[in-house]
Structures are given as C-alpha cells and as structure tokens.
Amino acid sequence: MATQLLASLVDGLLIGFVYGVAAMGLTLIWGVMRVINLAHGAIMALGMFGLYFLFTGLGLNPYLALPLVAVAGLLSGILMYTLAVQRVINAPYLSTLLATFSVNMMLIGVGTAVYSTSPYNVDFGLGSLALGPLTLPYSRLVAAGVAVGVAGALYFFLYRTAPGKAIRAVANNRSAAELMGIPSNRVLALSFGLGVMLAAVAGGLIATFFPFTILSGNAYQLNSFVISVLGGLGNPLGALIGGLILGLLEGLVSVFLPVNWTPVIEFGLFVLILLVRPSGLFGARR
C-alpha cells in the first residue's frame, strides 16, 4: 500500500508540473486582460502535433524541437490576438469568450480535416529510472524538469525584465499603464502570445509520453480550467501549485477508488471552489 501510494503520488506530481505550465498560460491571459482563452485546448493539441512533425519529419530530438514549438506558439498567439481578440477586448465578456471559442472551432476543424481523429504517437523512449521500489520513465522526469524550467523562466521574465514589468503594469491597471507611456496594445498582444506559448509547450511535453489526437487538448483544457480556478485566476504561481495539487489529487484518488471516479471528484471540486471560494486558494485578480 505504501509503495503504491508513493508511486501514485510521484506519478501525479510529475505530471502535475506539466499541467501547471498549461494552466499558467490560461491564467496569465486572464490576469492581464480578463479573457478566458477557449482555444487553449486546441493550441495544446497543435503543440503536440508540432512536436510530432518536427520529430518525424525533421528527425529532431523532441527536446530540441520544443523551443521551436514555443516560438511558433508565441507567434501564433500574437497573431490570434491581433485577428480575433483585439477588436472585442473592451466589449462584454461574452464577446471575448465567443471570439476565442470560434478560433478554437476553426483550429479543431482544420486540424481534424488534415489529421483526422486517428491517434498519433511520438515514438520516443528514453527508458526508465529504477529508484528503489519506483520505476520512473525518464521522459516524465525530463518533462517535469522542463516544466519547472519554463515556470522559472516565466517568473524571471515577469519580474526582472522590462517587458515583463510592462505586462504586470497593464494587468494591474491598463489605463494607468497607458498614461505611463506603456503601449498597452502591444503588451496585450505579447502576453496573449506568452499564454499561447505556454500552452503549446505543455502540449509538446505531453506528446513525449502519451499518444494524442487532435481532440486530446479538450481534456487538458478542462484540467487547466480547474487548476486555474483552484490556484486563483490570474495568479501564475497559483496555477503551478494548483497543477501540483491536482496531480497529487489524481494520484491519491486512484489508489483508493476506481480510477474512473477521478473526473467526478475533480469536477465536483471545481464546482465547489467556484461556489465557495471563487478567488481560489491563492487569490485571484478580479
């Protein structure tokens, strides 16, 4: 029992880091511009496909292909903002919700037309690490490591660089930031790009150890919602910790209950948090 619990918790923790990176993307966009990016899942799926094609087409090592996926994510995010979101940024929330949602539909539609819903697999095995009673696949360890690195890089960017500070200023008070000379529109585009980039990177990481289809992003999007609300919408650190909590919870639940009860518990918790403490565990940006 103890080994099983330990193994489950460690598995959950490792994948929790990756969930956290995905959720950070979602929560960053909300924190800066009060927009819920409903194309989050589609972008994660595209990140998976991007990695797959770089791996099979160009023969690149997946971990070397990740930065390329990240750059592609950043650029697509900026593009998406400019085309779909910019015009309705100041409109009621319904408009931005539906705008990002329509982008989601288009991405899934094109993706399904091109790739169909057949499963794809990045055939990449690194072997496993035997650590006492646990066997940990290296790919998951590396993914967790990369996730921590990405989170650290994001933190550094937001707190130590000028563009990062500009983003935080716009998130805090857009009009005041504009009065201080910050080009808010460009900053908004950049932050949207960052959020999308994080989603793409998370997708790419997941592709290194799970098979996927164009629709896989859906489940992770729901996950990201739960995590973001858990950690507090708008709080990137909260999202990372929320990811860990969710991963640990998944590991814990599966030991004592049939594994299929995990989604019930997850979504039950989600609705509960929304009702009882919508600002999440670490406080949201309202």
Partner 1 sequence: MSRKLSSLLSLLAIASLLAACAAPATPTTAPATQPPAATAEEPQATVPAPKTLVIGFTASQTGSQNVASTGQLKGLQLWMQQVNDAGGIKLADGTLLTFEAKFYDDESNKDRVQELYTKLSTEDNADYLISPYSSGLADAAAVIAEQYGKIMITTGAASEGTYQKGYTLVYQAYTAAGHYLTGAADLLASLDPSAKKIAIVHENDKFSTDVCNALKAYAESQGYEVVLFEGYDTGATDFAPFINKIVAAAPDAIMGGGHFADGSTFAKQLFDKGVQAKFISLLVAPPEPKFAELGDAAFGIVGPSQWEPLVGYSPEAAQAAGVEFYGLTVAEFVSAYKAAYDADPSYHGAGGYAAGLILQRAIEAAGSYETDKVSAALDAIDMMSFFGRTKFDTSAENHGLQIAHDMVYVQWQTDAAGALVKQVVWPEAGKSADTLYPLH
Partner 2 sequence: MTLRTLRQPGLWLTLGILAVIGVLAPATGSAALRETMFTQLMFIAFASSLNLMLGYTGYVSFGHIVFFGLGGYVGFYLLSAQHWPLAAAVVGGGLAAALLAMLLGLSILRLRGAYFALATIGINEAVRAFINNFEPFGGPTGMSLNFSVYKQYGGAAQALWITYYSVLALTVAVVLLSFFIKHSKAGLGLISIREDEDAAMVMGVNAPLAKTRAFVLSAIVPGMIGALFFFKNGNIEPADAFRLPLSIEMIVMVMLGGQGTVLGPMLGAATYQQLRIYLLTSPTFKELQLVFAGLSLLIIILFIPGGVVGWLRARLPRLRGVLE
Which residues of the chain form contacts with partner 1 (CB under 8 A)?
1, 3-4, 7-8, 11, 15, 116-119, 121, 123, 125, 128, 130, 135, 137, 210-213, 216, 250-251, 254-255, 258-260, 262
Q: Quick check: 1 binds partner 2 (CB under 8 A)?
A: no
Which of partner 2, partner 1, none does residue 11 bind (CB under 5 to 8 Å by kind)? partner 1
Contact predicate 12/247, CB 8 Å: yes
Complex with partner 2: residue 103 or 146, whichever CB lies closer: 103
Least Å from the CB of residue 6 to partner 2: 26
Binding characters for partner 2, 116-155, by CB under 8 A (x = yes): ----------------------------------------
Partner whose binding site includes residue 76, from partner 1, partner 2, none (CB under 5 to 8 Å by kind): none
Minimum distance of partner 1 from residue 278's CB (angstroms): 29
What string of DSSP letters covers 76-136? HHHHHIIIIIGGGTTS-HHHHHHHHHHHHHHHHHHHHHHHTT--B-------EEEETTEEE
Nearer to partner 2, 208 or 221 (CB): 221
8 A C-beta contact, residue 189 and residue 86: yes
207: CB partners within 8 A, 6+ apart:
47, 48, 49, 51, 52, 62, 122
Least distance in Å: CB of 261 to partner 1? 11
Stretch that binds partner 2, among 68-76, 91-99, 151-159, 196-204 (CB under 8 A): 91-99
Quote the least distance from Cβ 102 to partner 2, whole Å.
4
Residue 102 engages partner 2 in binding (rule: CB under 8 A): yes
Q: Which of 64, 71, 75, 105 binds partner 2 (CB under 8 A)?
A: 105
Alpha carbons within 13 angstroms on the beta-carbon side of residue 7 total 15
Strands 134-137 and 128-131, bridge-based pairing: antiparallel
**Contact set with partner 2 (CB under 8 A):** 34, 36, 84, 87-88, 91, 93-95, 97-99, 101-110, 112-113, 218, 222, 225-226, 229, 258, 260-261, 263-264, 266-268, 270-271, 274-275, 278
